[in-house]
Amino acid sequence: MAPHGEGSEEAMVVQDENRKPISSILIVIAMQTEAMPIVNKFQLKEDLDSVFPKGVPWVRYHGVYKDLHIDLVWPGKDSTLGVDSVGTISASLVTYAAIQALQPDLIINAGTAGSFKVFDLYGVGSRQSFSTPNLLKELNLKAGKLSTGDSLDMSPQEEASIVANDATVKDMEGAAVAYVADLLKVPAIFIKAVTDIVDGEKPTAEEFLQNLAAVTAALDQAVTQVVDFINGKCLSEL
């Protein structure tokens, strides 16, 4: 049993954190293609003196936008295969390392995703433990359940699980970021731009590549709107 008063003191600390203006944001992205428009929008600079362990390919850009310090990270390219290090393992590792090194007030996981319904320009969802009703209402963004898998394609078993959980979009990193954020008690929100219909007739990879440029531009716009809304606010105002 906890000592008398310990629980109430912890609750007060949480309340104080929720009422303090957000000063630092960590944006976690899967690929350079998705990241660079946001880097350019906020005029972020590459971290040449890396906060990450020596030898890892993880990339960090950082800078100040309005009243916010922004760190943007992605896993980089696999040193052996030369391809983007996408998927849950890479996402969880870079998220964990970034939280430990940078201690952000809030995480934004931004990226592309597949949808199961008619194309939407972009959508925003949040973990159940961190609600953002004012953000969703003000920016008129869609909220939905996000599912995550380590493949662009979807097996019948995955489809059944996704349908059973009433998910609306599927990505390759969101659940990993959510798990680490929850583990380390950092609030996180998720912004996903739809590139393809994962249960449609066209091959997923083909549709993903065709739509990537346009959807990345929409993602950049959505992230900018969200960051502008966050600026000057505390967590409880989101």
126: left (phi over 0), alpha (psi -120 to 50) or beta: beta
Phi, psi of 180 (to 5 degrees): -65, -40
Domain-embedded: residue 223: yes
Assess if residue 15 is contained within a domain: no
Domain count, the chain: 1
Amino acid 199: pLDDT: 47
Radius of gyration, CA atoms only, the chain = 18
Residue 192 counted as domain residue: yes
13 within domain boundaries: no
pLDDT tens, N- to C-terminus, the chain (238 residues): 445 555 665 555 556 667 899 999 999 999 998 999 999 999 999 998 899 999 999 999 999 999 999 999 999 999 899 889 999 999 999 999 999 999 999 999 998 877 665 434 334 444 455 788 899 899 988 887 787 877 666 666 766 666 776 777 778 899 899 999 999 999 999 998 876 555 445 545 555 566 666 778 888 999 999 999 999 999 999 9
The boundaries of the domain holding residue 81 are: 21-237
Give residues with Cβ within 8 angstroms of 165, minimum separation 6: 145, 147
* Separation CA 60–CA 48 (nearest Å): 9
86: in domain: yes
Active site residues: 34, 196
Residue 147: give its domain's CATH number.
3.40.50.1580
Residue with tokens 């105002």: 237
pTM of the predicted structure, to 2 decimals? 0.83
Q: Look at residue 216 in the predicted model and tell me its pLDDT.
A: 83
Q: Examine residue 11 and state whether it is found in any structural domain, yes or no.
A: no
27 is a domain residue = yes
Residue with tokens 């993903």: 208
pLDDT number for residue 118: 41
The enclosing H or E element of 10 equals: helix 6-19
Question: Looking at the domain assignment, is residue 7 inside a domain?
Answer: no
- How much is the pLDDT for 215? 76
Report pLDDT for 19.
82
* Amino acid found at 106: L
Residue among 36, 85, 30, 34 at smallest CA distance from 56 = 85
Interatomic CA distance for residues 134 and 225, integer angstroms: 13
